[in-house]
Structures are given as structure tokens and as C-alpha cells.
Structure 1
């Protein structure tokens, strides 16, 4: 070394000697041409020459390999240089680099290793053909097959996970694709059942690698005992071949990482009941989630299995059978086998048996392990205890959709733990998220979960907690939406949702109507009649204001039966009151009167004067529907006095408001005006949105009669906002309809027609005939005021037909009044007078205010 130049750390005389020898080797590498080797022994001989030419000891080569970032133990190097078989690719690469070769030299040596290995396979005929037979009667899955084509053609790595629930056809899809793609893998196909979900322990990678290496032609004595070395040898053998590797029934990424091909043209197809996103994170392997078949594909599968003629002979039964099987391929195949075993049995009989007891009827006698229950058992047995408990809770839950809080109530866990358990079930495709934090399961999984939960020792307690939680949430919404204190709001360990205002509460209820109805029905059948009754009555006001009145009536019918079974007479009175109000809204006035009279009778017998007065007030509305205005006012007056005697100012105020509406109908405008003004102030102070809106609408109609359309419009704008804040869709449609009339009077033609059409659209499918009639008539008045008598005539004639069928004499009279106006505007005065005369006759018989207007009618400009 030159004087004054310090040595680099680690550089001394021996280092210089080694570097010097390596310099000589770099020149000698050009003289060693690996392509000259025609066999494995010849290639190994050239490697020995390379090592000798380097002048390096085995230990020095191992150390040099570490310096390059390679791993080449001295024992491994000594072993491969004393064999006649081709070393693994990483061993050859490490040796060439340690001896001074650059990456181009490494590639040259590795390419020749691959050529010799391929030639050896061709010479020995060692091409593995390990695929099971292709599935019989495979149908559908065209989209999924294209996805596999894309993933295995273009992706790196060339691998894909097919994930899905038990029985969905993952293995069938993998094998169908594999047999279809045989020509793309001339160097063979490997297959292994990894037993991820089976009666045996899952297979680890080391025994699988041993099998694969042997199948690829490796002498068993040359298979390394070390797992990492086996994996390296496996990747080396695949690196220059095109082999398809089917890894069926995997459980975890740990099983699979060492079984994935490295570089080259080989492809891995993986099936699993559980998601394997760990492979996506570490290797970029994509997932294909397999869902049940489409209904048409299910029909094709049944036809292929049992004969298309048999399916064509009874397609309705075949579709029902597919539905009973949940379009799950395994279930469909099991059902088809039963059909083949009973050629004379109608498909409808099998459909009914499977629909009634799917798990009991989706098996094969003598081969129970092939049945659907056994298949699901294997998944369940692998679950953690908390996840298994959550699956049982799903079996107890009455609804088809549920949320973590409901599962938490059933299991006694907290919502976060329940959510974690549901996510675990989702990874094995036993549960699926739907929307807004809710979950669902396949129908057959639900049947399995119910079977598992049938004998749960704490079943009744768990269901009680579930019903308590839903009742507590319903009570919370009642308070938030209507400012009412619920009759029954049980304490629950699982907290109710924290609603962000009324709209959030309405959205929660809207998205759970089906689930809540099923819960009421199931609670009654399960012996939880108290919960069934309280849930129905707590939800009633929401359902009534949202227009779900027919649905509310079903719930209340269940509640009434439950109360009678319990002998709960006070709550029967409440239920009958709500039934009566709902019947009245649906047009069944006679039924409503009977229900309300029974409610009042029960309340009096129970010594409950408050409930009796409430029923009396509602009976007054029945009188109003029959246009017995005097009787209606008597009921409202008696109710108001009774509430005053009981010291209930709120209910007294409601009764006084009813009187104001009746005074408006009768034409007692002075009393109506003072009554509405009192109502508006009181309801606004108390935050009673719906009551306020109704009072504002009444006062607006009075202002319109007083020829003050601008004042009426302002009042109706306020009413519209109040109904919107209360979530009352019917109320909003009603106010828009009234506004259309007012806008026409204000000369705002375009606004009038737009509001009328909006109200018509909003009420096209509603069950409230009363609302629909008012909307039709108001739309007719608006169109006439805007210069379209033809449209007005059409709308009023539709209203007449509907009113006569209802019957609704008041709206029929309004319709004939409007029709007369339209005919007069079109120049047909004679027929107009006929309609006005009939309208006058009806209003006179009803005693309504409009009789005065019609009696003095001299021109078609009159709108009411």
C-alpha cells in the first residue's frame, strides 16, 4: 500500500489477496460457458470449475455471498457441488456472484439451469397431472371466468384467490377453469386440498412442498428437510415452467405464501372460505368474491342435473326450488340428487320440504358429510368462541337485517365486541355488511344459525334484552320526533343510537320498518307478548305520520292479540284507540267507530278517565267523517271540558283546536279565528310541529275565505316547514296542495301548477283517499285559475269518481263545484249549473260553509 494512504476498514493483506484472485476469476468466467453443459452433471462440473478457478475456499465464497446479500451456507454449497442434480436457482446465482460474475452472467447460468431442468422433465416424462375431474353440469359464472382469465394472464403474481361461503361453488369454479386452461400449462398441474375447513387438521406448507417437489420429479432423497430450502427449490423448479397450481380449501395466508410460484409462467389458483387479504398485502394477490348463482343459472344447473324436460314441465316449482336452495350450488346439487332418487316426486313437493326445513332436507342419506349442514359445521367449528356466540345470536334475531347493537343485546357483549365478531364472520362469508352499519346473512346460513340457537339455555333472556333495546330506541325516537314521553322505555345495557336530530331518527326508522314489523310478530309468537304490544304502540305515531297506516294496522292487530292473551285491559284500550284512528284514516269509518267505542268502554271499566276522553275525542272525528258536524263538536267540547277537569292543559288544547277546525267547516269564522290563533301560539310555544302545522293550515284557509291570499300563503309556508320538521310526508303533500290553490289566487300561475303536480305525484300511491281527493280538487282549482279548464275538468271528474266510491260527500261536493267552474269557463254554462246545483245540495245536507257561497254563485270565477 502506498505510504501515507490509510487502509480502508477491513482491508488488509488477505483482503488484497482475495480481491486479486477474484480479478483473475473475472477473466476466467468468459472461458466457462454454461451453455456447453447438456445435462445436470455437466452443469455441476462447470460450477465446480468456477469455484476452483476462483481460488476461494467454500468458507470465503459463503462470506462473499453474504456481502452481496445472498444466503449460501457452507454446508449447502458443499452438498450441491458434490451432487449431480441441478442446484436451486438462488444457490447458482449466489455462487456466480461470489465468484465475481455480474448480473448478466447470473442470468446466463440460470437460463441454462432452466433449459436442462425442462429437458430432464421431458426425458423422464415427469409432468404432473394432479387435477381432480372437472365438475359435472357446471353452469353460469361467465363473468367470474373472465375475471380469472384477466388475473392469471396479466397480473403479477399470476395468482388469484376465489373466496366465498361454504357451498357457493369455489372448487367447482377453480376446477372448471383449470380444465378449460389445460393447454396453457403444458408442464403440468398440481392440486392439493389444504384442509382449511375439514374434519382434519389444516396442512402446513412443508408437507405440501414435499408432495409438490416429488410430483415435479425431485428425488425424495434430495428434497431438503428445511422448509425455506424446500420453498426455494419449489420456486426454482417452477421458474422456467408453466405449471398450474390449484390450492384448494385454504385457511390462512401462512399456508400459502411458500406455495405461490415466484417468477416465470406458472399460476396459482386458490380457493378459501375465508378472506385472505394478507396475501394481497404481501404479494398483491387479487380476490374474487363468489356469490350465489343468478336465478337463471340455478335453473340451468337444475336442468343439467335432473333433465331440462322436467324443469320445463313445472318451471314455477323449479324456480321455487332454486329459491329454497338460496341459489347455492351445493344446495341445488343436493336437491337435484334427491329429485333423481325420487323420479316420481313432483318438484313442488321437494320445494315445499326444503323451504320448510332446508338443513334436514339438503343432505344425502348414507353420506352425511356431503350435506349442507356438515359443510357449515366445518366452518362453525373453526370459529372463535365469541364469533360462534354471535352466529347463534343471528339465529335468535327475528329480522333478516340486524346491527351490531342488536347482536350485542343478544350476546350480552358491548357493540364494539359484537361488531368485531360480525367482521370475523364476514371473513368466512357467514355474514355480509349491507348499508348504514347493518348486516345480513344468506337464508341457508340463517336456517343453520337458528338450528344452532334453538336450544340455547339463555334464549328467553337474550330475546328479552333484544326486544328491550329496540323498544328503548323506538321510545327515544318518539320523544325526539313528537315530544312525547313513551309509556314504556326499559333500561338497557346497550345504549340507544345518538341521533343527530329528527331527520336522523326518521332515517333510522325508515330503514328498519321491515325488521321492526318482523320483531313484533316474532315477539308475540315467542311468548314476549308484552314487548310485542309496546313496540307496536310506540311505533304507531311514526307509522301514522309517515303514511304507513296499513302496516301499522297489521302491527296493532298483533298487539291486540298479545294484550288479550296477557289479559292486559289498560293496554288493550290504547291499542284499540290507535286501531280506530288508523281505520278512520284508511276510510273504514264504521270499523273505526266500533274500535274507538270499545276502547272508551274498556277505559271506563278500567277507571281510566283520561283514556276514555281520548277515545271520545277520536269518536268525534268519526262523526266528522260522516259529516255529523254537531255530534263531532259535542264530542270535542265534552273532551275539552273533561281534560280541563283533569288538569291536562295539553290535551285540552288539542280538543279546543279540534273545535276550531269544526267551526271553520260550519262557517263560524269568528270562533274559528280565535281558536286557531290560540292554537298557533300554544303549539309554537310547546314545539308541537304537527299540531302547529294543522292549525296554521286551518287559519290559512280562513284567510283565503276572507280574500287575503298573501296572508294565507305566508301561513302555509310556515305549515309546510313544520310538517317537514316532523317528518310528516302526508302533511307536506297536503300543504303543497293548499298552496297551489293560494298561488293561483295570487296570480302565480307557474308556481300554482308546479305545486299541484308535485302534490299529485306525492299522493299517487298513498292509501289515504281523503288526502288524494283534496289534492285532486286543489289541483283542479289551480289549473282553472291558470287558464286550463280542460285539465281542471279532468282532475275534478277523477275526484268525483273517487269520492263516490269512497264515499266522501264533502270532497264530492268540492269536485262538482270545481267541475262546474271548469265547464263554465269552457262556455258550457248549462252543464255547469247542473254541477253547481248538485254541489249545493250536498253542502246543504252536510251543513258546511260552502253552501252559502254556492247559493249566491253568479259567475265561474268563484273557486270554492
Structure 2
């Protein structure tokens, strides 16, 4: 019962999100067939009619009932027992998992950033952590949770990274690290985004990462249950951001840094807080001398101590001051001491002596140091510093910086390096930089004062336009044939001799910029650039459709809906409203929120019908049909697809979407054939699928080979469901050839694996083994470890 229930849960959970790809879809539809047994006699005729039709088991009781039905079916005959056993086994491989931590080839993440070469002191923190780990009587079954607290700039991140590095010998299964960006609620990362990143680094293929946070959290706990790892959660905004990221293993250490004292973490999870204070005078002198470097002429201890006093012993202030001394050889220790002293007294009329937030009247040492460093910048450097801080970008890239400041990329590259040397930026990875949030706040405040809202908004718009151009170009390369809206796509064309891997490379480019693209959407929405907001969402379609990240998908597209609505009221493109609702619906589907998806599609259809946009309305109705397919409502799905065809027929020559009608009609014919197959209307399904095949072959440019291959796959499914394994094999032979020609690696692996099943049903073990080996090679080449493990397991069973 436990195995059956787990299998049902895995397959049903992935049905809406599309987890598992084609293999997951087939397992879902085979579960439907199995649950139909015994409800309507021999399961012939339309299984989609009457009270006997099974429904997708979504709730706990529904899944329990489905598992019980499978067990009853298995007991009814040896043949059914074999089918159920095979289905449960295959479903178990669909469940995302990692290689056990102790196994050869296990995923041992090493996400910790490098320690700083000038790190000083904090031996007390390491000693405290070591004692915590060695403490007897710690709560059983829970990881050790330590929280370093203190104000910004006090060195929490550096201390956490240093301690995790020193302790990693005790945690051989890896280190997970995430900057939670919790300086404010607006910038704080959603736990779902962090969980998705952690799961991939723990070995879960991206396509197998669940869409909703609850399932991500469950899988994360499974993945960490037997591991000894360190999880560093830097810059947490609150306890709610941290709790979903706690691993399951009591052998783990969770190291949190935050400006806020933990409450729930202490009360419910046994966390131990440790407040960090300024460095001692001796350690502060050591640190600033290290940062300033040995090339700096020596200065009397009294002068160095005067500089240190001006920094308050705060590591960020010490490093910024020391970096200024290191890169500006004309700057003397004495001058720095005088600057800090004057600013502290408020005598420097050009400065902005900021008082501490605690109201005690003490000047903020970090701000004083930043003011001093800023005063040393040449005018063009100072303008650049302000420009790149107009929005809290997750990382500052060369592209982002160049357009924010209105300079060339070569100039931006050099200026970024200069700011990094002055410790006003830090290099996160090659040609990617980030601000300490206090430094960005300093630069942003200066931008508000010296540049004003107009210039800041102009900088944001330039960055948004540049990222829209980047995303649209990459999206076009990933999915060149899809229907799309927006002037950003005008003039885009593929090169005549295009590398087959170009689409894969473009998707990787989108993935690398994912967080920045989401930030650009928020920035554009904040400044009222509605035309750019919805176009950015449109340009992220292939990123989200193929890679998920559903929390971000939903957040950005909610902004896209509102931006499109406002734009439509102000002479913008009214078609964008329905487009945003439709794309938002797919985000909801991926997160398993079927009701929200259906509501969004109703909004999409109403918006498109209201502005007479037939192409958009057809897409919304088609999407509802796809949702119904996933929900096992096959007759309702067929009605949606047929209705979408009627809407397409309203598009006349030269009207919007006219050029896309042939491909869209062929896709709908394919969908209808699939829906008819699941209703066991086999002659009608085969006829409709062959019609779809002919339509794809007639498309301009030599036809659509990839989608023709998908239709052959569906024909194979139809013949298998009808019990004709030989005819299914003939169709799958064609699918293999089509996917080979299209260069679709994973789809080719899927087609070959499906053909292996035909050989198994027809009693041809040698041919089955050969296809399994071919499928394994394709899955391995495309880094699909779940598919690879699945076919290797079958192959091992066959070769016993």
C-alpha cells in the first residue's frame, strides 16, 4: 500500500506541473487507464463519460482511494498484477531523488564563496560553533542551527563563510550557500527560489524539481536526510524565510546570518543566537593594515588607530577605508584620519554626517567611511557608482552597468573593476558584481540627491530595454516557431547555418540572467514602464516553460497583467492583457494550482474576445484544453480544442495571427487526437493524428519535423492503447527518425525508450535491449539522470 500510495502521489503531483516530461505524462495517462478498470466493465468505449470516470487524485483521501483501487485490481488477476507492479516500479523512478551521499558519484555541492584573504579574528565564533556541535544533549533528530546576528557591515557573512570553511572536514557531503537578500522585504528571496537552486545542486535534474514550495520542501528534506552538510543562509530577513530551508538530518549544521534576532527559530527549532560586535582595536588595526597592503608606506600606530577609531571597528568600514588606501597611493593615513574626524564632527560641509538609527547621536561609521571614499572618486567614477545603484539588482553585470550609466561595455568593465578594488563593489563571479546592501543604499541615496528621480528612472529604462533585447533574442533562439507578441521581436532571424546546440546555449543564457530579469521586471513596474514590463514577461516565456521557477513566474506575470491592463487603457496593445493572463495560467499549472489556472484562462479569453483578438482567444481556449487533459477530463479537453479551431477560422487573410493559423491548426488536431485516444475512440484518434501529421508536413519551410515526430509518438501511444504493439513500433520508428533529424536529444531518447516497450510487449528482448542502450546514451548525453537510471534499471533486469 505504501509503495502504491507513493507512486500515485508522485504521478498525480507531476501531472499539472509537467514534471517528468513525456514519461510523466504517459505514467499519468496509464494511471488513468488502470483506475478505469473495474469501473466501466472492460474499459471499452468512452471512459470519459458517466460516473465511472476516474478523476485525477489531488487530495490525500483521493490518492489513498486510488492506491487501494490499484491493489484491488492487482489481486483480481495475474495479468493486472503485472501491469500494476510495472506501473508502480516505473512511477518510482519518476520520483525525483539524489544519489545517496555515500555512493560513488554522489552530488556533493560546494556552493560556499571563497574566504577573504584578509579575514581577521572571530576565533570566538568558531570556538562557539565547535562547542555547539560537540555539545551533549542536543535535541535529537534536528540539525544544529546557529544564528549570527548584528548590524549591517559587522562582518556576519565573512564570519559565516570562514567558519563553514574551517568546519567543512566535519561535513563531507557538501556545503549549500544562499544569499537570501533579506535587507528588506522587497528584496528578500522566496524560499521556493532557494529550494529549487539547492535541489539542483543536490543532484535533482531541473525538469524534476517540483513547482510548488511544499513539495520542494519535502524533496529537500528527503535529499538531506542522510547527509552531513553545512547550510549557510546569509542575510535572512525573517524566520519565515529560513524555516523551509532547514535540512532534515541531525548531522547537518545550519548557519544563519541576520540583522534581526530570531524568534521562531529559537523557540521552535532550537536555534542558538550569537551577537557579533565590532572588532577589538588590535584586530581592527590588523585588518586595515592587511587590506591597505604592504606597499603602503608605514604610518605611526597612533595615526592608524585614529583611522580605526573613525571606522568604529566595523569590518565593512575598515575594508572600505583600507581599500581606498590600497588603490589611491596619493592618499595618506593622516589625510584619512582627518577626513573621518572632520566628518564625525560634522565639520565637512560637503559631507552628509548621518546619525545612527538608535537615536543616540553617534555618527554611523560605515556611512562616514563611504562618504570619505565617495569624495575621493573622480566625477565620472562617482556618476557611475550612483548609476549602478538605482535599483537593487541581484548582480551587477557589464550589460547592466553599461546601460545604467550610459557608457560602453568596455568602459563599464573597467569602472566595475575600479569600484571593486576600492571595495565599493565585490566580484561575485567573472564579470558579475554585487553591492553590500549598505553600500548600495549609500549610492542610491546619493543618486536621489545628485541625479534626481528623472535620471534614475531613465537609467532603469535603459537597463530594462537592454535586458528585453537580450531576453527576446535568446527566447527567439530557444523557440523560434512560437507565436509571440511585442515589437522586441521585430527583425529577429536565425542564421542560415545555425549550430544545433544554439537553442540550448540560448536557454542557458536566459537561465544565467533569470534573477536579474525578474528584478528588471519589478524595477520597470515600479517606474511605470508598462510597455516594457509585459514585453519582458513575454520574453521570459521559454525560460519558464522549459525550466519552471514557478514562484518567480507567477510574481512577474502578475505584474505583467497589471502593466498590460494599464497600457491597454492608455493606447497600448490591448492584446497583451490576454497574453499575460494565459502565460500566468501556465505558471499556476506548474505550481499545481489548477483552479487559479482555470480562472486566469477565463480572464484571458474575456480580454481577447473584448478586443477582438482571435489568435489570443484561441490560445487561451487551447490552454484550457491542455489543463483539462492534465486533469483527465478528456471529453472537456476535446471540446476546448475544437472550439479553439472555430476561433482560428475567424482569422482572415492579413489579419493578426493569419500566418500562424496553419501551425496552430495542426497543433490543435494533434491535441484532439490525443484526447480521443484517451477516450478510446481509436479509429477517430488515428485519423485525426494522421491529419495533424499531414498538416505539419505541409507547413512552409519544409514542414515542422519536430512536431511531426511528436505526432508519430502520439500515434504510437494510440496503437499501444489499442493493443497493437506492432503498428505502434512502426510509428515509433518514424518518430525516431524525425527526432534524429530535428536534433531533439531528449525527445529522441523518449522515442527510443517507447519503442523498447513495444519490443518488450512483442517478445523481442534483443531489440528491446538495443533500444534501451541507445536511450541510455541519449539520456546521458543530455544530462537526464532520472531517465538514464530508469532505462539502465530495465536493461539490468533484462540482462539477468
Larger Rg: 1
Structure in which a larger fraction of residues adopt helix: 1
